[in-house]
């Protein structure tokens, strides 16, 4: 059902875990089947210095989480924001049609984390 | 590494003896059972011999056994055939909400045709209450269909009690049971269950796929399922699949002789597996009744994790199992059975079904018990829900 690349990310997921003092945290839920994905980022000088994820979901959900973290680690926020659900699925060499909605989680969680970071920044700016 | 197959409720490997019995009928004994020359007579004899073996296993007369293409067809035939033939008597059907889709989707289709269907709820173990059946009977009821045992959670339904209630009614109400999961696992005798129709499948009892049977009690008013030639007493036309029927018959004969011994072996392995899981993994629930369950069925839910991930991890260790998680179903809805016993979506998500078979050993069970906690742990470490759960005590 899944290609080798997906299975590789599923069985050896990169960047699993939490960042305790994260600069941004994004959590999204899957409206289709009820799964949850959470992404933590550490940002320095506009660069995603560290990123970790936690996911409650299927093989595709775990593989896309792992993939998205690998894709944006070391990238600027602008570059990270350009990553879409589609590019994540493509980077994995495609997902089964019934699983396409899972790939929606990964980029959304990442963008939510960046948004969270930016919100915190502007708050700091106000203080 | 040897594969550990624990999905016998899904299908079973065909036995060597079954294949051997079938082989001649695929080659030299290819005759059509409807012809009069020796080749045809040979096929006819094999057909009737198999019918007798199936009948013996379920305590029926051979004349009450009709071959079909499998359990799903048997269910379809029972429901549609009774509904259509007894339209003038009423249009109400009673079933349960945990039936196999072969029954549920057929009922939904019958609803579109104007029949009224009552879907009875079940309790937290998955039991249908005989009282509920009784209270749902109306002057329009023509058919009750309740499965003998549930394919997912293994709960064995009180079919005999329900059957007695139905027999006591003044009007004739037909009673069908889908016994696909029980035949060959526990004793199934049609008269002890008080049923008029009963579905059987071959590939769940180490026979070939694509063949099954419907028991139709003598005197039952039912419409033929397929029209055409005179096969199956003009009720199910089409040249008989003799090799498959021979294999099915052989499988029935073999399992009948071993029923008691298999029951003991399987329930021992089942209990070892359940105990091992419950004792070694926290946040786990057993689905179905602890004792009133199929001897080969284990169904549990692990909190905070998802079933497909679990299955993929087990598969990497060459363990074959199944799950009722939304992510494993094409519809992305969790199992209707797990929801019906009251599990919330997120718990149904983490369901695992292990169904044992005659080739499984104590070593297999122990291997699964050795592997499983690590997999569950790994997935929980990845789960945001588990992290929240772990933090909870600190907050209170
Ligand atoms: S997370 Fe449910 S199908 Fe992928």
Question: What is the widest separation between alpha-carbon atoms in chain A?
Answer: 52
Q: What is the pLDDT of residue A127?
A: 66
CB within 8 Å: A32 and B332: yes
Task: Pick the closest to residue B251 from B26, B10, B48, B57 (CA basis).
Answer: B57
Over the stretch B243-299, which tens digit does the pLDDT of each residue have? 999 999 999 999 999 999 999 999 999 999 999 999 999 999 999 999 999 999 999
Picking from A2, A54, A58, the nearest residue to B306 by CB comes out as A58
Task: Ligand 1, residue B332: give the atom nearest the CA.
Answer: 3
Q: Which of A11, A17, A31, A33 is catalytic?
A: A33
More confident residue, B191 or B389: B191
Identify the residue among B382, B387, B394 best suited for mutation to test binding to A, counting A beta carbons within 10 A and taking the highest.
B382
CA dist., res. B186 & res. B198, Å (int):
15
Measured in Å, residue A33 CA sits from the centre of ligand 1 at 6
Q: What is the pLDDT of residue B388?
A: 83
More confident residue, A34 or A48: A48
More confident residue, A100 or B150: B150
Least Cα separation, residue B371 to chain A (angstroms): 15
pLDDT, chain B, mean: 96
Measured in Å, residue A55 CA sits from the centre of ligand 1 at 10
Look up residue A101 and give its two tokens. Answer: 């909605």
Over the stretch B83-126, which tens digit does the pLDDT of each residue have? 999 999 999 999 999 999 999 999 999 999 999 999 999 999 99
| Ligand 1 pocket, Cβ-based, cut-off 6 angstroms | A 30, 33, 35, 57-58, 60-61, 99, 102; B 326-327, 332
Between residues 59 and 98 of chain B, which touch chain A (CB distance below 8 Å)? none
Over the stretch B22-47, which tens digit does the pLDDT of each residue have? 999 999 999 999 999 999 999 999 99
Other beta carbons within 10 angstroms of residue B364's beta carbon come to 21
Over the stretch B301-318, which tens digit does the pLDDT of each residue have? 999 999 999 999 999 999
Other beta carbons within 10 angstroms of residue B268's beta carbon come to 14
CA dist., res. B95 & res. B79, Å (int):
10
Q: What is the pLDDT of residue B9?
A: 97
Q: What is the pLDDT of residue A30?
A: 82
CA dist., res. B371 & res. B144, Å (int):
43
Over the stretch A61-117, which tens digit does the pLDDT of each residue have? 999 999 999 999 999 999 999 999 899 999 999 999 989 888 888 999 999 999 999
CA dist., res. B186 & res. B260, Å (int):
8
Helices (H), chain B: 16-26, 38-58, 71-85, 101-112, 130-136, 159-167, 190-193, 231-234, 242-280, 307-316, 336-340, 345-348, 362-382, 384-395
Residue of A nearest to B335 (CA): A33
pTM score of the predicted model: 0.94
Backbone dihedral angles phi then psi of residue B207, each to the nearest 5 degrees: -100, 180
Look up residue B300 and give its two tokens. Answer: 């549990």
Is residue A34 very low, low, confident or very high in pLDDT (cuts 50, 70, 90)?
confident
Residue B312 with chain A: CB contacts under 8 Å = 2, 7, 10-11, 59
Backbone dihedral angles phi then psi of residue B145, each to the nearest 5 degrees: -130, 110
Is residue B394 very low, low, confident or very high in pLDDT (cuts 50, 70, 90)?
very low
CB within 8 Å: A32 and B382: no
Between residues 78 and 117 of chain A, which touch chain B (CB distance below 8 Å)? 98, 101-102
Residue B395 has pLDDT above 50, yes or no: no
Picking from A11, A27, A98, the nearest residue to B384 by CB comes out as A27
Picking from B305, B332, B381, the nearest residue to A33 by CB comes out as B332
Q: Strand A36-44 vs strand A24-29: parallel, antiparallel, or unpaired?
A: antiparallel
């Amino acid at each position: 059902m899944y290609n080798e690349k997906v299975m590789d990310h599923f069985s050896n997921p990169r960047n699993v875990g939490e960042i305790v003092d994260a600069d941004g945290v994004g959590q999204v839920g899957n409206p289709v089947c009820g799964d949850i994905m959470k992404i933590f980022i550490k940002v320095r000088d506009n660069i995603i210095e560290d990123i970790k994820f936690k996911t409650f979901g299927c093989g595709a959900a775990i593989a896309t989480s792992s993939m998205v973290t690998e894709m944006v680690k070391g990238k600027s926020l602008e570059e990270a924001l350009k990553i879409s659900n589609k590019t994540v699925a493509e980077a994995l060499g495609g997902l089964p049609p019934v699983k396409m909605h899972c790939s929606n989680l990964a980029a959304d969680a990442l963008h939510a984390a960046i948004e969270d970071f930016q919100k915190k920044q502007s708050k700091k700016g106000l203080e | 590494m040897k594969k550990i197959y624990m999905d016998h409720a899904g299908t079973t490997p065909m036995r060597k003896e079954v294949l051997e019995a079938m082989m001649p009928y695929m080659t030299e004994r290819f005759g059509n059972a409807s012809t009069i020359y020796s080749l045809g007579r040979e096929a006819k004899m094999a057909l009737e011999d198999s019918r007798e073996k199936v009948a013996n296993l379920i305590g029926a007369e051979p004349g009450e056994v009709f071959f079909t293409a499998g359990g799903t067809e048997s269910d379809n035939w029972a429901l549609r055939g009774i509904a259509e033939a007894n339209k003038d008597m009423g249009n109400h059907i009673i079933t349960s909400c945990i039936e196999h889709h072969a029954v549920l989707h057929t009922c939904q289709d019958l609803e579109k045709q104007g029949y009224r269907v009552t879907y009875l709820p079940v309790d937290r173990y998955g039991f249908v209450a005989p009282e509920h059946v009784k209270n749902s009977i109306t002057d329009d009821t023509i058919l009750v269909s309740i499965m003998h045992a549930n394919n997912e959670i293994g709960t064995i339904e009180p079919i005999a009690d329900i059957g007695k209630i139905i027999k006591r009614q003044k009007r004739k109400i037909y009673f069908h049971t889908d016994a696909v999961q029980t035949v060959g696992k526990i004793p199934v005798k049609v008269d002890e269950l008080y049923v008029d129709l009963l579905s059987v499948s071959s590939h769940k009892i180490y026979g070939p796929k694509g063949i099954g049977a419907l028991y139709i009690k003598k005197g039952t008013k039912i419409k033929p399922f397929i029209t055409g030639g005179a096969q199956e007493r003009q009720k199910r036309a089409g040249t008989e699949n003799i090799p498959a029927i021979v294999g099915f018959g052989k499988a029935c004969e073999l399992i009948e002789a071993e029923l008691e011994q298999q029951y003991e072996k399987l329930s021992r392995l089942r209990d070892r597996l359940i105990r091992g899981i419950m004792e070694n993994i926290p946040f786990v629930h057993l689905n179905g009744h602890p004792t009133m369950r199929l001897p080969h069925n284990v169904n549990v839910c692990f909190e905070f994790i998802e079933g497909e991930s679990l299955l993929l991890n087990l598969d990497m260790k060459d363990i074959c199992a199944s799950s009722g998680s939304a992510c494993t179903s094409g519809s992305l809805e969790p199992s209707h059975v797990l929801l019906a016993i009251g599990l919330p979506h997120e718990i149904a998500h983490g369901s695992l079904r292990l169904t044992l078979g005659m080739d499984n050993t104590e070593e297999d069970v122990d291997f699964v018990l050795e592997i499983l906690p690590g997999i569950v742990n790994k997935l929980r470490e990845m789960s945001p829900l588990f992290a929240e759960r772990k933090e909870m005590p600190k907050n209170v």
